[in-house]
Structure 1
Amino acid sequence: MALWRRRRAGTPAGPRLVNHSDAGSHYTSFAFTAHLIDASIDASIGTVGDALDNALMESRIGLYKRS
């Protein structure tokens, strides 16, 4: 939906867009992966139980939660 709205508004997503997510089944499905590839979006999915790829994002979110 966000990609569609950006395209419609004339501000498409940039070429270095990364989707950060956990290893949930809906994020690792073939259809979702195909959609990311079609939209030129890189996936950032860690292994099960490994949150190292999202550590930077989690720490940034923590800053907002504290204030």
Structure 2
Amino acid sequence: MFDSLGYGGSNPITDSYLRFVSSGVNTQVQIDRDGITSTQGFSLLVNLNNVSANSLVIGSNVLV
């Protein structure tokens, strides 16, 4: 997905292309199509119902 945006990094979260935002008991996954330059800003990619952002983990790393 990020390849089609021209992303060449190794971590879209730390490179500011992807973020997770708590919204009550849900978590929004938001994407910024141009990452660090941020001229477009973040938009909603998907809403994870009844999923806490604090419970999202890749390997041993908590995402938020």
Higher strand share: 2
Q: TM-score, normalised by structure 1?
A: 0.25
RCO higher in structure (CA 8 A, sep ≥6): 1
Higher helix share: 1
Q: TM-score, normalised by structure 2?
A: 0.26
Indicate the structure (1 or 2) with the bigger Cα radius of gyration.
1
